[in-house]
Structure 1
Amino acid sequence: VEDEERLLEVIKQAAMEGALVLYTLADPNMAESANQACQLWGVQCANILAPTTAAIATHLGVNPSGIPRGKAPLTKEYFRRIDAIEFTMKHDDGALPQNLHRADIVLVGVSRTGKTPLSIYLAQKGYKVSNVPVVMGVPLPPYLFEVDQDKIFGLTINPVVLQAIRKARVKTLGFSGNSSTNYSRMDHVKEELEHCSRIFAQNPRWPVI
């Protein structure tokens, strides 16, 4: 609801239908208008935002601004972040490697080293991120070595932690411990990490995190 006229229309409709009105209006003037209109037309209502706002304001020792966040202007920075998030989601887990040159950051690592969560986090900061999985027996895409090597970062992880993460993943997928593949076996986990470390050593311009 953007203005008082529309607010009154909604409350009047609620009165005609015998409906309950729950509102979360940050603007105190709009909230008061809603309360008065509900009383006037006999509509049961509740300002469900007010108690929470008051508690937070008291705890922090500040006064609420009363300005709805929805009215904040859509800036260039906002659209840059949206564009970055869309790019990152489309280029997850090695997808569209021919577009690696368009990424601001490229993350490389074995499965379950946190490539996707970190990619999304960075995208929310406005960076376009691609991530490339390291899989034994599968060559890395040639595009990876054609882009600016200074924007590539390697991800590694403690093998014990990685095994625990992979075991949880296998369980989530519905596989029993006995039927799980090499994916979560410690010897395989260590072998993958060692393979990945050799790749990082061959590419010293990639910082390893």
Structure 2
Amino acid sequence: MIQQKILPSSPRLVAAPTSPTNLLPKRSSSPSRLPKQDEAADSTGDQTSGSTSPRISPKASPNLTRWSRARALRSGRGLSLRIKTPSSPVGDITPSLSSDSSDSEEDTAVTPRADGKPIYMVSDGTGWTAEHSVNTALGQFENWLVDRGCPIHPQLFSGVGDADRLIEIIKQAAKEGALVLYTLADPSMAESAKQACKLWGVPSTDILGPTIEAIAAHIGVAPSGIPRGAPGRNPLTEDYFKRIEAIEFTIKQDDGALPQNLNRAHIVLVGVSRTGKTPLSIYLAQKGYKVANVPIVVGVDSPKSLFDINQEKIFGLTINPAALQTIRKARTKTLGLKGGMMSNYSDMEHVREELEFAKKIFARNPVWPVIEITGKAIEETAAVIVRIYHDRKKKRFLPHISKRY
């Protein structure tokens, strides 16, 4: 005789809600509606699972190598091949706390996305903190996400400034079975998110709250509770204008332009073509650093001013030959270049020759730190450069095994 295992009922169906009244969804007048729905789902599950259940497809492009998929993932860029689903995106939902009895069944049914497990990032500001925190955390699951495709579908909701929209997002998260990660500077909004997620059984984590509380306790000052970019905050600070100046300078100094201005740069990047000098320069400029980049070309002398400036501000960039060839082939295909001057641009022999030429220049200038960028996101390379830059300014000891980073 087979003993039937009785599963405990869902806490969402029996627990009495203790949340504020503005967070409570409208309940149907019939209390037995949800159990009946569950029974109907159980009775029809065997019939529909084989024919109508969507097959989850990986979100990784087969044209990308493992290192490039990892780099794209950790940079926060999508890897294409998304599968369109009939369900509408949360951003198109009209905020409404009321629902009639006819759609109560739809609100409780979980409809997972076909393009991966959803993660909702909710912010009352720009969403930068939430997005980068999640991307950093996803880097810890790189072997699974990259080697076996990307079963994660992150979605950012920024500028969530009222409880109505917050509730609608959380209700949709419950419907899709999403994880909710939020950075809400307003304490009342953060508490509303916590209570609403608890009420609808949505797994959630407050990314920003514990850090704010720890800092407040440490310095003995209460936080303002005003999100970044709110009308009550003035963005036109001195740092703002410094960033604008740095960006303008960096754009003018791209690809070896105006070498006479190298002495005005905080950081100078040197490397062969397609080692990421320009995007790295722009990223650093957004942090307030004036950056110039100088290309290394076989048979072309570097500008004299490069060797006349403070050598401690110069950083070399290098990359694996196979990775560089892949990037150059993609670049050549994008530009539609065939033959001519670019005929050997992506040839392995030419790639190795350029990297060897750059290696000799780096060897003649041992003060330059040489950073290996293969498989690294821009943020990772920038973090290494900024650390070395400030350590040198403060004359700190730099413990390292070799000059390669």
User: Structure 1 length as normaliser, TM-score?
Assistant: 0.70
Distance 1:172 1:49, change over 3 A: farther
* Unmatched tracts of structure 2, length 5 or more: 1-93, 95-123, 125-159, 171-181, 183-189, 194-203, 210-224, 372-405
Structure 1 residues 82 and 204: alpha-carbon distance in aligned structure 2, compared to 1, 3 A threshold: same
Q: How does 1:181-192 map to 2 (within 5 A)?
A: 181-192=343-354
- Deviation at residue 177 of structure 1 after TM alignment: 8.8
User: Any unmatched runs of 5+ in structure 1?
Assistant: 1-21, 27-47
Q: Which of the residues 284, 294, 305 maps onto 1:143?
A: 305
Shift of 1:178: 11
Match of 1:129 in 2: 291
1:107-118 to 2 correspondences below 5 Å = 107-118=269-280
Q: Larger relative CO (CA 8 A, sep 6+): 1 or 2?
A: 1
Structure 1 residues 170 and 66, CA gap change in structure 2 (3 angstroms): same
CA distance in 2, matches of 1:158, 1:67: 42
Give the alignment partner of residue 85 of structure 1, picking from 228, 238, 247.
Answer: 247
% of aligned pairs identical?
61
RMSD of aligned C-alpha atoms?
Answer: 2.8
The TM-score normalised by the length of structure 2 is 0.37
Alpha-carbon shift at residue 129 of structure 1 (Å): 0.2
| Larger CA deviation: 68-77 vs 86-95 | 68-77
Cα separation, 2, equivalents of 1:114 and 1:92: 12
Query: Cα 1:94–1:79, aligned 2, differ >3 Å: closer, same or farther?
Result: same
Distance across 2 between alignment mates of 1:134 and 1:124: 25
Counterparts of 1:1-209 in structure 2 under 5 Å? 50=162, 52-54=165-167, 55=170, 56=182, 57=190, 58=193, 59-61=204-206, 65=225, 69-71=229-231, 72-73=233-234, 74-175=236-337, 181-209=343-371
Distance 1:52 1:117, change over 3 A: farther
Pick closer, same or farther for the CA change 1:102–1:160 going to 2, 3 Å: same
Q: 1:176 to 1:84 in 2, by over 3 A?
A: same
Higher helix share: 1
Aligned residue type for 1:185: D
Task: Kindly provide the CA deviation profile for residues 107-134 of structure 1, in whole angstroms up to 9, marking residues without a partner as x.
Answer: 0000000111111111111110000000
Count residues with an aligned counterpart.
164
